[in-house]
Amino acid sequence: MTSPLPAFKLERFFAQYEFVAPYLLCCSDCQPLSMSEVLELADAEAREMWKDLRLGYTETAGLPALREEISKQYSTISKDDITVLAPEEGVYLAMRAVLRAGDSVVCTFPGYQSLYSIAKSMGCTITHWEPELMPVIRDKGKEAAAKSSCSATSLSFNVDALLQILKASDSSTAPPVKMVIMNFPHNPTGFLPNHEDWSRLVEACKTRGCYLFSDEMYRGLELDASCRLPAACDCYDQAISLCGVSKSLGLPGLRIGWLASKAQVAAEDELVYSAAAMSSNISPATGDHMNSVVTASLQSRVRELKDYTTICSSAPSEVLSLIALRSADKIMHQHVTTIQGNVEHAHKFFSLFPNMFEWQPPVAGSVTFPRLTTGENIDAFCDRVVKGCGVLLLPSSVYDHPHSIERGNFRLGLGRSNARECFDRLREYLEKTKTI
C-alpha cells in the first residue's frame, strides 16, 4: 500500500539548528570550499566557460563536458551512462524508475532516510540490513588510529547477514528481492566493507539479477586509500551508483550529483516509456518477477522523470563542479588530511572522558557514531549540550533505529576545519557541568 512521504527527521533537525548553533560537530560534509578557492583551480578552458556563461536552461542529462569528466571516475562508464542531478533527486528518481508497489527491497539501516522511505512510500516491502555491535577498543590515542583497518568499526555490516536475508527471500512465496540499497562508506557509522566482502555482496546481487543501488557519496574519503572499493556500476550492469560533489569535494551548495549506470529498466504492461519506443535499446524484457514488455535504459527513464522535478541543473553549478572534478584528487587529499587531523583531536577528547563515551574512528568518510555510556537519554544529552555550549551533536533518534537509540549513539562530523574548536567547547562545558 502506498503512503505519503513522512517528515525527513534528519533534515528537520538541521533546519532547526544548523544555521543558529555556533559549533557544528555533526556535519557529514567536508569543509566547504569558497567560490574563490574553486575558481583558482580552473584551467584555461574552464575559465573561459565561466567568463562566457549564460544563465539559461541546461541539458537535462547534464553539461556534456561535466559528464565526460565524471566518467573518468569510473572504468566502464561513458558520459552517456551518466545523468547529472541533485543527489537527493537521484535517490528519488532512481526509485521511481525501478520500483513498483509490492516490490521487495533490502536496505542498510540506519542511514539516510530517503534511501528507504521513498521505496516504502511507494508500497514496497523493506527489509533492514542492520550493523552488528563489534568489540570496542577503548581509546588509546594515536596508536588506535594507526591500527585502523578496512571495516574496523564498532558497528559493522556483516555480509553473511545480508546473504541470509537474500536466501530467505529465495525460498519465500513472496516476491524476490527487486533491489538492494546500500551506502558505503556508511553514514553514520564510518563503516566500509573489505574488498572480499564487497565482491561477495555484488556477486549475490548478480546471481539473483536484482538491482544494486549504491550510495557512494563518501567515496574517495578513505583514511587508507587501499581500502577504496570499486564503484558498483563498474562491477555489475544492473548496479546504480550515486555520487556527487557534496561530501568528498566539499561543495554541497552546488547541489550537483549524478547517477552512473548502464542498467536497464522494465516497462510494465500499462506503461510504455517513450524513451524505449524511440531508442535502439528496446529488447525483450527478462526477469520472472516483473510483468514487463520492453526494456529501456535507466538513464532514459530517469531523464524523463527529471522533467517533473528540476528539469535541468544550474548552469553555474555545473561549471563549478567541472572545475572541482578536474582537481578532485587534490581536493580529496586536503579533506582526508583534515579528517585524519580531526581523528587525532577526537582521540584526545575521548581519552578525557573514558567513563562517558565509547568510540571508534571511521574507516572511510567524514562521520563516526560514538556512544554515550552514562545512561542519559541521547536526545536529552544532545539538547542539553547545544543549549549549554552551542555545540551541535546529532542524536540517533533522527534515524528511528531503536538499537542505536538504546545504546546512546550520536553522529560526529570530522570533516570541518573548526572541529578542534568544537571539541574544546564541548570539553569545557562537560568539565564545567561536572558530568565526567
Measuring CA to CA, how many Å separate 369 from each of 111, 204, 244? 12, 28, 23
279 pLDDT higher than 50: no
Greatest C-alpha distance within the chain:
70
Q: pLDDT at residue 278 above 70?
A: no
Least confident of 63-77, 169-183, 190-204, 413-427: 169-183
pLDDT for position 173: 84
Instruction: Say if residue 87 is preceded by a cis peptide, omega within 30 of 0.
Output: no
Mean pLDDT across 362-385: 97
pLDDT more than 90, % of the chain? 86
Average pLDDT over residues 348-352: 97
Strands 177-183, 104-108: pairing kind: parallel
Residues in the chain: 436
What pLDDT score does 174 carry?
82
Report how far residue 224's alpha carbon sits from residue 149's, in angstroms, rounded to the nearest whole number.
8
Tell me the three cell numbers of residue 118. 521513498
pLDDT at 141 exceeding the cut of 50: no
Which one is predicted more confidently, 141 or 316? Answer: 316
Task: Find the range with the poorest average confidence among 27-36, 105-114, 265-274, 332-341.
Answer: 265-274
Residue-by-residue DSSP string for 71-120: HTT-SS--GGGEEEE-HHHHHHHHHHHH--TT-EEEEESSS-THHHHHHH
CB distance 369 to 410 below 8 Å:
yes
User: CA-CA distance, 36 to 220, in Å (whole number)?
Assistant: 23
Measured CA to CA, the distance from residue 422 to residue 418 in angstroms comes to: 6
The cell for 186 is 556508511
Joined grid coordinates for residue 281: 535499446
d(CA 246, CA 250): 5
- Identify the pLDDT of residue 154: 74
Beta strands at 239-244 and 211-215: parallel, antiparallel or unpaired? parallel
User: 239 pairs with which residues across the strands?
Assistant: 212
User: Residue 181 forms beta bridges with which residues?
Assistant: 107, 213
- pTM of the complete model: 0.92
pLDDT reported for residue 250: 98
* pLDDT over threshold 70, residue 144: no
Instruction: Give the range among 85-89, 266-270, 335-339, 392-396 with minimum mean pLDDT.
Output: 266-270
What is residue 205's predicted lDDT score, i.e. its pLDDT? 98
Place 286 in a pLDDT band, splitting at 50, 70 and 90. very low
**pLDDT computed for residue 72 by the predictor:** 98
pLDDT above 60 for 420: yes
Distance (Å, whole) CA 252 – CA 303:
22
HSE at residue 300, side-chain half, CA atoms within 13 A, is: 19
pLDDT at 295: 86
pLDDT (tens digit per residue) in 402-411: 999 999 999 9
Q: What is the mean pLDDT of the chain?
A: 91
Q: For a pLDDT cut of 70, what percent of the chain falls above it?
A: 89
Closest-CA residue to 263 (of 288, 287, 291): 287
- pLDDT for residue 136: 53
Q: What is the DSSP code string of 353-374?
A: -TTTEE----SBSSEE--EE-S
C-alpha to C-alpha distance for 283 and 264, rounded to whole angstroms: 10
Cα torsion at 263, 251, 10, 153 (round to 10°)? 80
* pLDDT band, very low/low/confident/very high, at 199 (cuts 50, 70, 90): very high
Listed residue (217, 219, 213) closest to 244, CA to CA: 217
Average pLDDT for 329-335: 98
The per-residue DSSP string of 38-63 comes to: HHHT--HHHHHHHHT---S---TT--
pLDDT of amino acid 149: 62
pLDDT digits over 8-63, tens only? 999 999 999 999 999 999 999 999 999 999 999 999 999 999 999 999 999 999 99
CATH T-level fold of 48-141+148-275+295-324: Aspartate Aminotransferase; domain 2 (3.40.640)
Q: Which three cell numbers stand for residue 220?
A: 574517495
Confidence bin at 152 (pLDDT 50/70/90):
low
For position 217, what pLDDT does the model report?
98
Q: What is the pLDDT of residue 270?
A: 38
Q: Cα–Cα distance between 106 and 157 in angstroms, integer?
A: 13
